Each structure stands twice: as structure tokens, then as C-alpha cells.
Chain A
Amino acid sequence: MVKYVAGQVARHTPMLETRSLHRLAVGPIDMTLDPGCCMSIVGKSGSGKSILLRMIADLDPHEGGAALDGIACSSMPAPAWRRQVTYVAAESGWWDDRVAAHFPARADLSASFASVGIPAEAVSWPVSQLSTGERQRLALLRALAPANRVLLLDEPTSGLDVASTAMVETLLRERLAQGGAIVLVTHDPAQAARMASRHFELRDGRLEARTP
């Protein structure tokens, strides 16, 4: 596992790299992220944190580019990019009435459901029966597919109590330990301090380094 070390940037290709990402009032944004690393982004509401994450996932038209392991987003089909660099919106969307339809068929979900405090039988529930917090946690689980490399998380624990938040954070730490990377947008500086090794604030459309 490659760890981020200052001074070595030029000698290795970062896992995720963005060049001059720009959309509306956000950007240009240049950033790099290495495997096993989590960077936090805070900022006032309306500062464009979601716009930035959506740009990295290539979900909106924008200027500039991004690359994963040196391979440009524009050189691969957008779905292939998003399976590896996955945006998890603050408000989750559901395209079927049944919870099970949002997960791979025949997958054993009981362990992963339990890891975020959701009973295994929830898989047979209708989506309408889920609470906001349950939806938020299941939307995160849904994104944790084997192909995923970088998670772009938009307020992943905003609707959760302390215990559920701790479970989600443990799950995310496991992901980091396995070599995944996370861009964490959060309004909670304490969470940023717990999870991330590099801290930024999005202000006037630019990313500024921040000391927690």
C-alpha cells in the first residue's frame, strides 16, 4: 500500500488526480488522493461541495479532467469511471420499490447490513418502510461494490445518531485499510478530524488547506 509522503508526489502516480475541474462558481480544483487516504472537505452550504463531488464523478458537464491511476476519465466510458469513482449523494435515490433490487442478486447481505446496524431481513422490506437514516446507510453499502476504488461521500452520516455514525465510520476505516480512498464532505469538523488525514475548506470556489 502506497502512503502519501510529501516530496514523493512527482515520483508516483496518485490514485485520484483532478486537473482544473471547473463548473459554475466552483474551481479550478486541482487535487490528488492516494490509496488508503481520506480527505475531508468542509464549507458553508451553497459553497459548491456537492458540485465538486459530482464533477469528480463526471455527473455534470464541466471543464478540466480527472484521472484514476493515471488513466483519464475521458478515456473510458463514464459508467466504467463511476463504478470505480462513486458518488454517494446526501439524499439517496431508489429506483425500485424493493430494497433487494438495489443490491446484486444472490449476494449475502446479512454481514454487511449488520455492520451498519440494519437487520438482515431489511433486504425483503419495501424501500418506503426504511427510515431516513436506514436509507442513508443502505445507500452507502450499495456503493461499496468490489469495483469501487474512490468513494465521494456527501454528508454520509448527517441523519444518523452517534452509535450509527460510529458504525459507518468503522466501515469506512476498513475500506481505507483495504486501499480504498475517500473524499469526505462533512459539516462536522470532529468527524473530519476522526476520519481524514488531509483537511480542506471549499471557499469562494477554491479548495484551501485547513488545520483541524
Chain B
Amino acid sequence: MSAPLIGYTELALAAVLVLASAILSLLLNLGYARALLVAGARTVIQLLLVGLVLKTVFALSSPWLIGAVMLAMLVAASYEIRARQQRRYAGLWSFGIGAATTMLATLFVTAFALITLRPDPWFSPQVVIPLAGIVLGSVMNGVSISLNAFNTGIVRERAAIEARLALGASRYTALKPMQRSALRSGMIPIINQMSAAGIITLPGMMTGQILAGMAPFEAAKYQILVLFLLAGAAGLGALVATYVAVWRTTDERDRLRLDRLVQPP
């Protein structure tokens, strides 16, 4: 059995669904049409381009080229994280906090996966790039959601946090409730994904492998491994990001420093 090949006609038919949704949004004045269409166009351009690039990278199989591809992916993820923030850090921090935590979590978990899977050669692009990509996506979700929840939360709960600080709580105690709820929000996507896996949805990767002809049980084992990697990566990224956020939005005298966030435009 082999997967049915997809032509441009089939893609165009699927695009009708996106267009229909956008038209509904316009008719009912729901305000998401523009964002949806832009995202749809980006999907087409980005995925086709990446297909072309990966074809070359796989053919050359150079560790340097793979490193460069991963770096580009990290930079793109860091920009996405920054774009998701309603309240950004002033200056370089707006980019740096996402970039640093994403790089840390992605490299750690990807290295962990490579040690576990032992591909040959270890930098095999067919393994490294998809793995780093899917891990990066999960880290990006965890970091951007929890950072955004944290930063909007501390602005909203300023009076409560400062009341606690004024009564002699340390900055870590005073911000703990915000950190906890931000982490909960950041972990919801991966927790949902793991809870729903197989019952409510067939995960994308497993679906792809089955469509491409892999035995369902083997595909399931792969999917479990990947979901665990994703959960670990999202958790690590979000945890580090919120600790950096607590540290950055307060100072050594345990003051809340909302002046280090910029106002939303």
C-alpha cells in the first residue's frame, strides 16, 4: 500500500475550505479573515520552500548546513514568540528572552532524542531536522503562551502583587501565583495533545506515517516517543522562560518593575 500522491488540484480544493471560512468571517464581521488568509498564504509559501530547501540539505548531508538550517529555524521561532506578546520587554529583551529559552530547550531535547535514537550518522538530516522542527514548535507554543500569560497577568494583577511585596513577601513569593498560572496555560496545548492522542485525534505525525505506509503499531510507538519529547521540551522552555520573566520584571530590591515592559501599541 502506498500513499496517494497529492497534486495541485487537490491542494486547490483544500484551499476552498480556508477561503470559505474567511468569507464567513467577513460576512459575519468576526474579524479573523485577514489573519486567516495571511496564515494560509504563509503555509503554502513556507512549506513549499522548506520542501525545496530540505531536498538540497538531504542531498548534501553536511553538518554545517544542518546547523545553519536549525539556526534559521530558531531565529524564526524567536520572532514568532516576540510577535505573540501583548506586553513586550523593552529593548533587546523582547527578542532575547524567547530566543535564549527556546534555544536552550530545543538543543537539550534534540540532543536527548539523538542520544536515544542513535541515527547513523548522528547528524543525519532526515532525523535531526524534522525532530528539531517538531520540538521547536512545541517549545515555541509553551514559551510564547506562558510568557504572554505571565506578562499580561502581572500588569492586570499589579495591585495584588504590590500589596504582597509591601507586606514583606519576596519577589518569588509574590509572583508565584502568576508564574503557576502562566505555566499551566503554557502546558495546556501539549497536555491536551497527549490526553486526546488516539481517542479524539490521531496525531499529525502518526497520521502521516500511516498514510505513507508504516505499520500502525510502529507509528504509534514513534508518536509516543515524539509526544514525550514535545512535553519535555515545552515544559523545560516554559519553566525557564517564566523564571527569567520573574527575574526580569522585578529587581534585586524585590520591586515590581513594570517599567521594563513596553505599552502595547
Listed in ascending order, the chain A residues whose CB lies under 8 Å from chain B are 57-61, 77-80, 82-83, 86-89, 91-96, 139, 142-143, 145, 147
B157 at the interface (CB under 8 A from A): yes
- Min Cβ gap A75→B in Å is 12
Q: B residues within 8 A CB of A58? A: 253, 255
Contact of A95 among B168, B177, B253 (CB under 8 A): B177
The 4 A-B pairs with the shortest beta carbon distances in the complex, nearest first, are A93-B159, A93-B163, A83-B168, A93-B160
Q: B residues within 8 A CB of A77? A: 170, 254
- Min Cβ gap A136→B in Å is 12
Decide if A59 touches B165 in the complex (CB within 8 Å).
yes
14 A-B interface contacts by CB (under 8 A): A59-B256, A61-B255, A61-B257, A77-B170, A79-B254, A82-B167, A86-B166, A86-B167, A87-B166, A92-B163, A93-B161, A94-B160, A142-B167, A143-B167
Q: Report the count of interface residues on B (CB-CB < 8 A).
A: 22
Q: A residues within 8 A CB of B251? A: 61
B80 at the interface (CB under 8 A from A): no
Can you list, as one digit per residue, whether each of B165-187 has a CB less than 8 Å from chain A (1) or not (0)? 11111100010010000000000
Decide if B168 touches A94 in the complex (CB within 8 Å).
no
Q: B residues within 8 A CB of A87? A: 166
B248 at the interface (CB under 8 A from A): no
Q: B residues within 8 A CB of A86? A: 166-168
Decide if A139 touches B168 in the complex (CB within 8 Å).
no
Decide if B254 touches A78 in the complex (CB within 8 Å).
yes
- Min Cβ gap B213→A in Å is 54
User: Contacts A89-B166, A93-B164 hold; do A78 and B255 have CB atoms under 8 A apart?
Assistant: yes
User: Contacts A78-B254, A79-B254 hold; do A94 and B165 have CB atoms under 8 A apart?
Assistant: no
Decide if A79 touches B255 in the complex (CB within 8 Å).
no
Residue among A61, A78, A91 with the highest chain B CB neighbour number at 10 A: A78
Decide if A59 touches B162 in the complex (CB within 8 Å).
yes
CA distance A79 to B164 in the complex (A): 10
CA distance A155 to B169 in the complex (A): 23
User: Contacts A58-B253, A59-B255 hold; do A79 and B168 have CB atoms under 8 A apart?
Assistant: yes
Q: B residues within 8 A CB of A94? A: 159-160, 163
Q: B residues within 8 A CB of A96? A: 177
Closest A residue to B174 by CB, please name it. Answer: A95
- Min Cβ gap B164→A in Å is 5
Decide if B166 touches A88 in the complex (CB within 8 Å).
yes
- Min Cβ gap B40→A in Å is 42
CA distance A126 to B244 in the complex (A): 32
Can you list, as one digit per residue, whether each of B239-251 has a CB less than 8 Å from chain A (1) or not (0)? 0000000000001
